[in-house]
Amino acid sequence: MSLLEKVQAKSQEKKENPDFQTRVEEEKPIQKPDLISSFRPKKKVVETESDRDKKQDQKFNKHLELKNRLHKKILEEMNENDDVEQIIPNLDTMAIEIIKNDEMFRGAIDRKKVVEELVHDLTGFGPINPLLMDPEVTEVMVNGPDMVYIERKGKLMLTGVRFRDNDHIMNVIEKIVAPIGRRVDESSPMVDARLPDGSRVNAIIPPLALNGPTITIRKFSKDPFTIDNLVSFGTLTQEMATFIEACVKARLNIFVSGGTGSGKTTTLNVLSSFIFNDERIVTIEDAAELQLGQPHVISLESRPPNIEGKGAITIRDLVRNSLRMRPDRIVIGEVRGAEALDMLQAMNTGHDGSLATGHSNSPRDMISRLETMVLLAGVELPVKAIREQIAGAIDLIIQQSRLKDGTRKITKITEVQGLEGDVIVLQDIFEYQQEGVDAEGKIMGRLVPTGVRPKFYERLEQSGLDIPPSVFLPKEEWV
């Protein structure tokens, strides 16, 4: 009998007879050492394996740690000297220095490999690479060779990063768009693309862009913000969070409205996260940004026309198609045009619980923009009929703003109550009151209930969602 067979036989016997060991010990004490020794080798193997794993983990961690430290150093250097291509030849020396100064790296790391990997990461997309790798940078904007802006912590900043000339930028654009089978030249001077990590890229070149080839990159955040994040940022209060969660669960049709970069998509993502796991969700976007955690999600992405101007699939096409996909929820990234009509019709014909965003400065403005968008659909509808559609479809508008200090706030949560005569009646439920600016330029203010309980309150109650009426009472509470 091999050792393995012995062990297996013993453990089988043990399983069948749980007091096997005790019995063995009592009846045949002489066999005890035998039993122990037959188990010992197995245990030892297990130990060494986990040891090896641990060692490899440690090695990998050190590898990452060195890479991170080097990267940090490069970012520091870049404050004085922005040309990453000048820093690259010194990377190895920098690595040697770090290793010399820190015991933990010595003999435990493949320096060449770290440096090679870093150079590769750094040169992929030229001078903007370090910015793309910097987790604090959320947006990178190239306005021609001498002007590269970034957004960091919500604030726009000019960097010293420079390209050699227009051709240098063109090379980078080509590198970005080539892998997805697109090209950029005079005949197609505008292009949307995505980086391998999911970041969204737009490039527009001369003669359309007068400052030179222009790139705008919205970096993909690997961990999308959660409702708890938004509450901790002060974007909304805990009460508002509970309220909008109930609104999503009660299948209200909700529109998030705001300016570019005000956090609409982020809020839409958070709203979508409240959808129940057993619902079939269809998302429709120009560039897939939403990251839903539910198991049953179909993501659709529109497509621009090809070089001959053919083959475009619009958001409107996708909205229409989605209605034939048995959706429980339709989530539209951004409503910009004729799709508004199809969306409103869907919302009015049983597809409740839909969510969307739109670009506008206030809930009232959103309504009038929607009116204009419906007209773009080319259907001759009297204004009153359009307003009826809007008032019947949309239950709630969440207005979001990017304040001057870079923070994002939900500035209004507004109920669409219905149509009175020719006028759509809006009622604010929560609103933001700005109260001044502190010494550091941070805007101070608070989000307060207006004291009005929404008309759809009963719908929340009927859905079994327990929102205490006190949520809607004004309170003296700073956020």
Ligand X SMILES: Nc1ncnc2c1ncn2[C@@H]1O[C@H](COP(=O)(O)OP(=O)(O)O)[C@@H](O)[C@H]1O
Residue labelled with tokens 């209200």: 252
* Exposure of 263 in the CB half-sphere (CA atoms within 13 A): 27
Q: What residues from 411 to 470 belong to the interface with Mg ion (CB under 5 A)? A: none
Among 63, 67, 194, 264, which residue interacts with ligand X (rule: CB under 6 A)? 264
The region of 92-100, 187-195, 264-272, 391-399 touching ligand X under the rule CB under 6 A is: 264-272
Of 87, 128, 230, 254, which one interacts with ligand X (CB under 6 A)? 230
C-alpha span between 286 and 341 (Å, rounded): 17
Give the nearer residue to ligand X in terms of CB position, either 244 or 386.
244
* The two three-digit tokens of residue 76, written as one number: 């520091």
| By CB under 6 A, residue 274 contacts ligand X | no
Among 265, 272, 389, 401, the residue binding Mg ion under the rule CB under 5 A is 265
3-class DSSP string for 21-74: HHHHHHHCHHHHHHHHHHHHHHHHHHHHHHHHHHHHHHHHHHHHHHHHHHHHHH
Q: Which is closer to ligand X, CB of 157 or CB of 325?
A: 157
Residue 334 CB, shortest distance to Mg ion, in Å, is: 6
Least distance from ligand X to the Cβ atom of residue 233, Å: 4
In Å, what is the CA distance from 170 to each residue of 120, 159, 165, 208? 19, 19, 9, 14
Look at residue 198 and give the partner it binds from Mg ion, ligand X, none, a contact being a CB closer than 5 to 8 Å depending on partner kind.
none
Beta bridge partners of 214: 143, 204
Cβ-contact 410, 240 below 8 angstroms: yes
Closer by beta carbon to ligand X, 20 or else 233: 233
The CA distance from 155 to 142, in Å, is 16
Using rule CB under 6 A, residue 233 touches ligand X? yes
Position 67 contacts ligand X (CB under 6 A) = no
Kindly tell me which of 253 and 266 has the beta carbon lying closer to ligand X.
266
Name the binder of 138 from ligand X, Mg ion, none, CB < 5-8 A by kind.
Answer: ligand X
Q: Which is nearer to ligand X, 256 or 394 (CB)?
A: 256
Closer residue to Mg ion, CB minimum distance, 269 or 389: 269
Burial class, 157, CB count within 10 angstroms (exposed 0-12 / middle 13-18 / buried 19+): exposed
- Strand locations in 286-422, DSSP E? 297-301, 329-335, 355-359, 396-402, 408-420
Backbone φ, ψ for residue 233 (5° rounding):
-75, -10
**Contacted entry of Mg ion, ligand X, none for residue 408, CB cut-off 5 to 8 Å set by kind:** ligand X
When CB distances to Mg ion are compared, the closest residue is: 265
Binding residues among 167-206 for ligand X as defined by CB under 6 A: none
Segment lying near ligand X (by CB under 6 A), choices 121-129, 186-194, 241-249, 260-268: 260-268
166 binds, among ligand X, Mg ion, none (CB under 5 to 8 A by kind): none
Q: Which of 129, 159, 199, 266 binds ligand X (CB under 6 A)?
A: 266
In this complex, which beta carbon is closest to Mg ion, that of residue 265 or of residue 302? 265
Which C-beta is closer to Mg ion: that of 132 or that of 332?
332
The DSSP secondary structure of 79-104, one letter per residue, reads HH---HHHHGGGHHHHHHHHHHH-GG
Cα distance between residue 145 and residue 148, in whole Å? 8
The size of the chain, in residues, is: 479
Please choose, out of 8-16, 229-237, 277-285, 292-300, the segment that lies near ligand X by the rule CB under 6 A. Answer: 229-237
Binding of ligand X by 265 (CB under 6 A): yes
Establish if 257 lies at the interface with ligand X (CB under 6 A). Answer: no
d(CA 242, CA 321): 33
The one-letter amino acid code at 172 reads V
Of residues 402-421, those binding ligand X (CB under 6 A): 408
Binding site for Mg ion (CB under 5 A): 265
Binding site for ligand X (CB under 6 A): 138, 154, 221, 225, 230, 233, 235, 258, 260-266, 408
